[in-house]
Amino acid sequence: MTSPAPLAKPDAPRRLSLRAPLDLLFLFCCVLLTADVLVPEIFGSGKTKDYPLWYWVGQQVLQGEPLYPATAIEYFDYIYPPPPAILLAIPSWFGKIPLYVVLSILNVLAWWYTGTLSHVMTGSDRKPGPWLEALPAVVTVPLVFDMFDLGQPNLVLLAMVLFGFWGLRHQRSWLAGFMFALATAIKVFPVAVLPYLLWRRKWAAVVSMVAFTGILLYLVPAPIRGFERNAAELATWYQGMVGTSSEKGFGQRDEQNWSWVNQSLIAVTHRLVRPINFNQDDPGKPPRTMNIIDVDYRTANWIVLAMSALLGLGFLAVMPRQARRTARSDAEELGILFCLITVASPLARQYYFVWLFFPMTVLMHRAAFDERAKVRLGTWLALGAAGVLLLLALPWFPTVLQAWGNNLAATAVLAVSLAWHIRHPPVAAGTPPATGLKPADLEKPS
* 395, 50, 149, 359 alpha-carbon torsion, rounded to 10°: -80
First and final C-alpha spacing in the chain: 37
Query: For residues 258 and 346, what is the distance between their CA atoms, to the nearest angstrom?
Result: 10
**CB-count burial class (<10 Å; 0-12, 13-18, 19+) for 210:** middle
Tens of pLDDT along the chain (446 residues) come to 334 434 334 577 888 888 889 999 999 999 999 999 999 999 999 899 999 999 999 999 999 999 999 887 888 899 999 999 999 999 999 999 999 999 999 999 999 999 999 999 999 888 899 999 999 999 999 999 999 999 999 999 999 999 999 999 999 999 999 999 999 999 999 999 999 999 999 999 999 999 999 999 999 999 999 999 999 999 999 988 877 766 776 766 767 788 999 999 999 999 999 999 999 888 888 999 999 999 999 999 999 999 999 999 999 999 999 889 999 999 999 999 999 999 999 889 999 999 999 999 999 999 999 999 999 999 999 999 999 999 999 989 999 999 999 999 999 999 999 999 999 999 754 444 433 334 334 344 43
**Closest to 122 (Cα-Cα) out of 292, 364, 315:** 364
The radius of gyration computed from the CA coordinates of the chain, to the nearest angstrom, equals: 22
Dihedral sign for Cα 351, 353, 358, 360, please. negative
Helix/strand/coil for 249: strand
Phi, then psi, of 6 in degrees rounded to 5 = -65, 155
Phi, then psi, of 183 in degrees rounded to 5 = -65, -40
Give the pLDDT of residue 252: 66
Query: For residues 26 and 136, what is the distance between their CA atoms, to the nearest angstrom?
Result: 13
Angle of helix 82-92 relative to helix 227-241, nearest 10 degrees, comes to 120
Give the pLDDT of residue 283: 81
Is the pTM value of this prediction over 0.85? yes
